Amino acid sequence: MKGKTMNLINEILLTLINGVSHEHVVDMGVIIILTTALLFVDTTQRVATEVLRYNKDNDRPNTALNLITTLVWYGWGRGKYLNKETNKSKRYLMSERLRGDLLIKLCVQYPAWMVLSVIFVSLPDIPIPATELYLDNLFAFVFMMIPFFSECWSIIENLRELVEDDLIDFNKVYSRLLEVIRAWRGNA
């Protein structure tokens, strides 16, 4: 029984692998690299948001020293801020949301979308009438792109959180950036 099951699994895997073109493998590789880069940006942004939120909730100004000490030490524990609903102190950099989201993305969601892409590209071609497109390839492409767009949306969501929660004063950042540029150009 075990041998028959293994043979069936091997046949299914060989059929899937043989149905995947070299171009699709290359496209998936590019998407995986781009998604990984966006995931790094998203995670860095999420950590920065938690650092800024810790400083805001604990009435610490966002000076360079406070940002560094929060990132290295204070942000990993519980702050003085109490959640009004649960009356518990909040965890910031070690929050369940931060860890759970990253684990689910890397180990479940994104690999599942890539496997679905491989399955659909391995299906027989189903032409879409009056076009040169195939339905199976279209679905495979959409499934392959979902992790990339998901990371783009996550980055936008993090930026909105920064703006809406007033964690960063973008006008002040912009004016300081202009000062640095003027000083660098000698127009100060």
The answer to the question of residue 10 being in a domain is no
For residue 5, is it within any domain? no
Residue 15 lies in a domain: no
Q: What predicted TM-score, i.e. pTM, was given to this entire model?
A: 0.72
Q: Within a domain: residue 73? A: yes
**83 dihedral zone (left: phi>0; alpha: psi -120 to 50; beta):** beta
In a domain, 2, yes or no: no
What type of residue is 175? S
Name the domain count of the chain. 1
Residue 123 within a domain:
yes
pLDDT tens sequence for the chain (188 residues): 677 888 888 887 777 777 788 888 899 999 999 999 999 999 888 888 888 888 888 888 888 888 888 888 877 776 666 666 777 677 677 767 777 888 888 899 999 999 999 989 988 888 989 988 899 999 999 999 999 999 999 999 988 888 877 777 777 778 888 888 888 887 65
Q: Is residue 29 part of a domain?
A: yes
Tell me what pLDDT residue 161 has.
Answer: 84
Exposure class string for 63-84: b at 16+ Cβ within 10 A, else e: eeebbeebbeebbeeebeeeee
State which residues form the domain around 41.
22-185
